[in-house]
Structure 1
Amino acid sequence: MKFRPDRLIQLRTSMNISKAEAARQLNISAMTYGRYEKGEREPSYPSVSYIAQIFHCNIDFLYGTSDVMNCDYIVISRSESPELYSLVETLQQNHDIKDRILAYARELNRKEKRG
């Protein structure tokens, strides 16, 4: 697989941020980020994974093997969001609670859509 710089540009543009802001969010130099976008330097797979995680996109989109930009997973960190992490852990272990909470969430979504 080869990294697609045009996809990185498309992603950044969809987020409506500058190259400098993208570099800042990724904690890399503006020069390094610019080289990624120009195709002068290809990020390593771990770097592409990090880009996808920070920008909430699909890794396959950045490699051009999928046209779906949005990621199909969410990373929940125990240290950053302990309550949400605990909830998801409970849902994975207890199917009865999972079914009840999902039914409740569906009802909340329906009410929100109705206004």
Structure 2
Amino acid sequence: MSEFYLFGLSSRRAEWLSARQAVVAENVANANTPTYRAKDVTPFSEVLETTALQMSGSNPSHLVASAGRDFGIDEAAQKPWDVTHSGNSVSLEQEMLKAGEVSRDFALSTSVAKSFHRMFMTTLKG
């Protein structure tokens, strides 16, 4: 089923959400570290714009581009709501909002993939 673009897109989105959750967790863990600058990952829309679609072949004689799974995420400095006297720019409220967004987006992505999978299986069963 990996030949379907929606499943690949869903997988890539889940990887991006996982990376974003890891960065949010790192920011929260360093909320009291002096001079720590809060980070965020590149928006998913920008990741998709820089990702080229890869050709695939079902026969060894087909031309196939290198189908590596390089999923580099660039961490970009976020705009902090406030900076403390210690130079720390982590806002726990902002990080909790991002954690909520990650949770909501993950639930939506998995629901769409699950619905597509059910539809696909229904067509196969006839």
Pairwise same-fold verdict (TM > 0.5): no
Structure with more of its chain in strand, by fraction: 2
Could you say which structure has the greater relative contact order, defined with CA pairs below 8 angstroms and 6 or more residues apart?
A: 2
TM-score (norm 2): 0.22
TM-score (norm 1): 0.24
Structure with greater Cα Rg? 2
